[in-house]
Chains A and B, each alone.
Chain A
Amino acid sequence: MSVLKIRNLTKRYGAKVVIDNISLTLEKGDVLGLIGKNGAGKTTLMRLITSLSHPDTGEIELFGQTVLSAHLSGSTPLAIAGRRMGCIVEAPALFLNLTASQNLEYYRIQRGIPGKNSVRKSLEQVNLADTDKTKVKNFSLGMKQRLGLALALLSSPDLLILDEPFNGLDPTGIAELRDLLKHLNEHGVTLLISSHLLAELSQIATRYAIIHQGKLIKTMTQRQLQEEDDTQAVALSLTVDDAAKAAVVLETILHIHNYKQVGPQELRVYDSLDNPAALNLHLHQNGIRVASLHKIGPSLEDYFIKTIDGAAP
């Protein structure tokens, strides 16, 4: 079932076309990573989906209902479909002189969500339950970001639209957010996420859409990206019981010098890509236990840069 369908969407600011005839579909359970340079049109696309901007042409369908088109006025369809959507577009918009729970309580009342438990639950989901008396103006950027997410989660949405959700988070916060998003997705929430942190995005996205100069230039699934990885492998990743000992075997017996030890039990080998079985055999024969061995391809970042470079200027 399609959660979001965008058809031939175009948005202009004066003579400048910022979204150029984009069509995109988001199926239930997808985690779509929206990738693009600054100014590519990611945020504008999200603003159109969330009704903050009006398209010049094209239409947007949410949960099977057309909510926005160049010819549709009024917001009744969005009022119905919008209840199933949570979003943070650009920075989270919050009341700075209220506490986190007061912010959520405000929106709970406004949205007619029954029961105050939803506020507590949302705060717990983003680890802000212990900020009771602190006003939002005293929050760090990361805390504001998490509160914005709590607000997006308040009405238990089926679709989450997050614009740069990792912004301002420390490494622990990033890991926690990643786990939370994975957890939500496992429980049926569809996600549309834009981020410049492609390594993070690649850990949760199931699909990618690359936008360049307002145009959608490529969509692909995580599987397709992995398949491209296999054909364009750049290294073998090895997990062994003793990386130092394995390194000696690589150098003295296999005469492989083009490798890198990336951890006490992990190695990257940049030669012998065409014969991983032989490598495995030699390591085994020399008393090294190989826990895993697989090809790794270019990162999402490499792929993105290559795609953008190949696109029309």
Chain B
Amino acid sequence: MITIIRADIYRILRGRAIYITFALAESILIIYLFGIISGGSTTPAEIYADALGYPLESVGYNGMHIVSSVLSFLTRDTSFYLLALILLVAAPLFSHNTIRNDLSRGISKTTLYVSKLILSSLLCCAMMLFFIVTGILSATALRGFGGTPPDGYWLTLLKICSSQLFMLLALTCVGVFLVFTIKHTGGVIGIFLAFCLIPSIFIGTLSSAYPDLIKLLEYDIISNITKLAFIEALDKPDLLKIFGSGAFYMAASTGAGIALFKKAEVK
């Protein structure tokens, strides 16, 4: 399995798509950060400071404080980049039919699935780390790093990062599941984006007429990633629901993905 992952890393680094994806994500992140640094409206950093009970004046748009803004950025937009990375890892199996080369060498379908899932997950972690590091560097370059943070600041950020990462990994599992079951890149893009966008838009629209529908968003990955940006404001039952749904998406999509892929005939 390690050799499969190593070979895929070799392939991905030799293509342009990975660099384009990261460059695009970085440019949009910088535009976003520039907007909140120069804008006068209430920002995620301010909301975040409020939720934590920090004095508002302690929140600046410097390298240290920008992380909270970066983490709130990890919502819907991130799912697009995540999808691009998943497609980069797994789609050639079906779009270029390279799956034939792998199966005829005796690589099991489970090994193939798991190796693509692991690499997609690694890229998901790399993407999050990249956002945080480049966010800090960009804000530091514009406003300096800042002074000493309030007590528990970094620990809270770590909690937010790890919990959001958990949900992004759940989303990765769903993406890999779609690639291996739909096998058609266009179809995967359509369904994945629908999965990410439709619940919040659809339920948000209908909730004024049917207020109970809003409860369904408690199981929506994207909505939960946004909520986790303000983890300190969430109580235990909320967290249990969020992580429970994340774990369910992970287990269900991976289990079903492997089972369906094993059963499917390779074209």
Does B108 lie within 8 Å of A75, measured CB to CB? yes
- Check A83 against B105 for contact (C-beta < 8 Å): yes
Residues of A near B105 (CB, < 8 A) are: 79, 82-83, 111
Q: Report whether over half of chain B's contact residues are helix, strand or loop; otherwise say mixed.
A: helix
Tell me whether B4 is interfacial, beta carbon within 8 Å: yes
A112 touches B3 (CB 8 A): yes
Residue in A closest to B109 when the chains form the complex, CB atoms: A75
Known: A110-B7, A111-B3. A52 touches B107 (CB 8 A): no
- Which chain A positions have C-beta within 8 A of B3? 109-112
Residue of B7, B98, B109 touching A94 (CB-CB under 8 A):
B98
Residues of B contacting A77 with CB < 8 Å?
106
The docked-state distance in angstroms from the alpha carbon of A97 to that of B3 is: 21
B266 and A52 contact, CB distance less than 8 A: yes
Write the nearest CB–CB distance from B165 to chain A, whole angstroms: 28
Interface locus among A100-108, A123-131, A276-284: A100-108
A248 interface contact, C-beta 8 A: no
Per-position binary interface string of chain B over residues 88-130, scored 1 when its CB falls under 8 Å from any chain A CB and 0 otherwise: 0000100011111111111111000000000000000000000
Contact, CB under 8 Å: A85 / B11 = no
Given A93-B97, A94-B96, A95-B98, A106-B7 contact (CB < 8 Å): yes
A9 within 8 A of B: no
Residues of A within 8 A of B100 (CB): 50, 52, 89-90, 93
B210 at the interface (CB under 8 A from A): no
Given known A-B contacts A94-B96, A95-B98, A96-B96, A106 and B106 have beta carbons under 8 A apart: no
Q: Does B15 have its Cβ within 8 Å of any Cβ on chain A?
A: yes
Cross-chain contact A107 with B104 (CB below 8 angstroms): no
Would you call B265 an interface residue if the criterion is a C-beta within 8 Å of the partner chain's C-beta atoms?
Answer: yes
Q: Find out whether the CB atom of A82 lies under 8 angstroms from the CB atom of B15.
A: no
Q: Please provide the chain B residues from 8 to 47 with a CB less than 8 Å away from any CB of chain A in the complex.
A: 10-11, 14-17
Q: Is A53 an interface residue (CB 8 A)?
A: yes
Are A95 and B92 in contact, with the CB atoms below 8 A? yes
| Mask of A30-63 contacts with B, CB within 8 angstroms, 1/0 | 0000000000000000000011111000000000
Nearest-Cβ distance from residue B228 to partner chain A, whole angstroms: 36
Question: A235 at the A/B interface (Cβ < 8 Å)?
Answer: no
CB contacts (< 8 Å) of B17 on chain A: these are: 97
> A residues touching B (Cβ–Cβ < 8 Å)?
50-54, 67, 74-83, 85, 87, 89-91, 93-98, 102, 105-107, 109-112, 151
A-B contact pairs, 26 of them (CB 8 A): A51-B104, A52-B100, A53-B266, A54-B265, A75-B106, A76-B108, A78-B106, A79-B105, A82-B104, A82-B105, A82-B106, A83-B105, A89-B104, A91-B97, A93-B100, A94-B98, A95-B98, A97-B15, A97-B16, A97-B17, A106-B7, A107-B101, A110-B3, A110-B4, A110-B6, A111-B3
6 more contacts with CB within 8 A, not counting A83-B105, A107-B101, are A77-B106, A85-B104, A94-B98, A109-B7, A110-B3, A111-B105
